[in-house]
Amino acid sequence: MTRVPGRQAPQPATTAGARTAAQEGADHDLQALFGESAVIFAYLAGPAHMLETANGAFFAAIGGERTGTGLPLGQLMPELAGQGFITLLDRVYRTGETHNARDARVLLGEGDGAREGFFDFTYEPRLDAGGNVRGVRVVGVETTQVKHAQRLTAEHRVLLEQIARQAPLPDVLEGMARAIEALAPEEVLVSVLLADPDGRHLRHGAAPSLPEFYNRAIDGIATGEGVGSCGTAAHRRQRVIVADIATDRFWDDFRALADQAGLAACWSTPILARDGALLGTFAMYHRTPRSPQEADLALARVFADTAALAIERHHAELARAAAEAREKAVRDDLAFLLEASSALTSDLDAAQVLSRLAGSCAPKLAPLCTVDLIEGGRVRRVAAAAPTPGERDLLTSHIPVYDAADDAVARVLASGTSEVARRTPTGPGPWHDLHVTGYLCVPLMDHDRAFGAVTLLSTGDHVFDGHNVALAEELARRAASAARNARQYTDRAALARDLQAGLLLPDLPDVPGTDVATYYHPAGEGLDIGGDFYDVFPLKDGRWAFLLGDVCGRGAIAATTTALVRHTARAVASRLPGPADVVQAVNEALIDRPGSHGTGFVTLVYGRLTPTPTGLDIEFVRAGHNAPLHRDSCRTVHALDAKGLLLGVTPDAHVTPHRLHLRPHESLVLYTDGITEARRQDGDMLGDQRLAEAVARLPGRPRAQLIIDRIVTTLHTFTDGGDIDDDRAILVLTATAPHSTATP
DSSP for 49-111, please give it.
TEEEEE-HHHHHHH-TT----SSBHHHH-GGGGGGTHHHHHHHHHHH---EEEEEEEEEESSG
Average pLDDT for 198-208: 93
Q: Which residue has the higher pLDDT, 468 or 588?
A: 588
Q: Is the pLDDT of residue 62 over 70?
A: yes
Same domain, 123 and 193: no
Residues present in the chain in total = 744
Could you tell me which of 712, 729, 715, 723 has the C-alpha nearest to residue 524? 723
71-117: pLDDT as tens digits: 998 888 888 888 999 999 999 999 999 999 998 888 888 776 677 78
Same domain, 87 and 194: no
Residue 540 pLDDT: 86
Q: Is residue 329 part of a domain?
A: no
Could you tell me which of 536, 547, 664, 548 has the C-alpha nearest to residue 611? 664
Roughly what angle, to the nearest 10 degrees, separates helices 466-503 and 350-361? 160
Residue 157 pLDDT: 77
How far from the centroid of its chain's Cα atoms is residue 576's Cα? 76
Range of lowest pLDDT (21-30, 134-143, 601-610, 726-735): 21-30
Range of lowest pLDDT (30-39, 414-423, 567-576): 30-39
Same domain, 453 and 546: no
Same domain, 303 and 424: no
The residue segments making up the domain with residue 59 are 37-147
Cα–Cα distance for residue pair 671/684, rounded to 1 Å: 19
User: pTM higher than 0.85, yes or no?
Assistant: no
Q: What are phi and psi of 655, to 5 degrees?
A: -95, 150
Asked which of 296, 317, 338 is the last residue of a domain, the reply is 317
Residue 154 pLDDT: 72
Asked which of 465, 491, 517 is the last residue of a domain, the reply is 491
- Number of folded domains that form the chain: 4
Q: Is residue 182 part of a domain?
A: yes
By CB atoms closer than 10 A (0-12, 13-18, 19+), residue 544 is buried
Asked which of 116, 147, 178 is the last residue of a domain, the reply is 147
Cα–Cα distance for residue pair 337/401, rounded to 1 Å: 31
| Cβ pair 40, 139 in contact under 8 A | yes
Q: Is the pLDDT of residue 476 over 70?
A: yes
Angstrom distances, CA of residue 739 to CA of 51, 437, 610: 152, 79, 16
Residue 21 pLDDT: 54
Same domain, 311 and 358: no
Give the DSSP H or E segment for 265.
Answer: strand 265-272
Same domain, 200 and 307: yes
- Residue 70 belongs to domain with CATH number: 3.30.450.20
- Which strands sit side by side in the sheet containing 240-242, from one edge to the other? 221-222, 201-206, 189-195, 278-286, 265-272, 240-242
pLDDT tier for residue 503 given thresholds of 50, 70 and 90: low
Cα–Cα distance for residue pair 581/99, rounded to 1 Å: 140
Residue 530 pLDDT: 65
Give the DSSP H or E segment for 677.
Answer: none
Q: Mean pLDDT, the chain, as a whole number?
A: 85
pLDDT tier for residue 538 given thresholds of 50, 70 and 90: very high
Q: Is the pLDDT of residue 423 over 60?
A: yes
Same domain, 114 and 237: no
Q: Which residue has the higher pLDDT, 35 or 695?
A: 695
Q: Is residue 480 part of a domain?
A: yes
Give the DSSP H or E segment for 360.
Answer: helix 350-361
How many CA atoms within 13 Å lie on the side-chain side of 150? 6
Same domain, 477 and 577: no
Average pLDDT for 704-712: 95
Same domain, 665 and 717: yes
Same domain, 396 and 437: yes
Residue 447 pLDDT: 85
Triad 279, 280, 285: Cα angle to 5°: 155
By CB atoms closer than 10 A (0-12, 13-18, 19+), residue 467 is exposed
Q: Is residue 258 part of a domain?
A: yes
- Pair type for strands 221-222 and 629-631: unpaired
Cα–Cα distance for residue pair 194/199, rounded to 1 Å: 9
220-275: pLDDT as tens digits: 999 999 999 999 999 999 999 999 999 999 999 999 999 999 999 999 999 999 89
Could you tell me which of 658, 637, 655 has the C-alpha nearest to residue 645? 655
How many CA atoms within 13 Å lie on the side-chain side of 363? 7
Q: Is residue 63 part of a domain?
A: yes
- Residue 478 belongs to domain with CATH number: 3.30.450.40
Q: Is the pLDDT of residue 32 over 80?
A: no
| Cβ pair 207, 190 in contact under 8 A | yes
Q: Tell me the β-bridge partners of 534.
A: 548
Same domain, 50 and 143: yes
Q: Is residue 11 part of a domain?
A: no
Q: Is residue 696 part of a domain?
A: yes
Q: Is residue 726 part of a domain?
A: yes
| Cβ pair 392, 386 in contact under 8 A | yes
| Cβ pair 439, 456 in contact under 8 A | yes
Q: Name the DSSP letter for residue 169.
A: H
Same domain, 606 and 696: yes
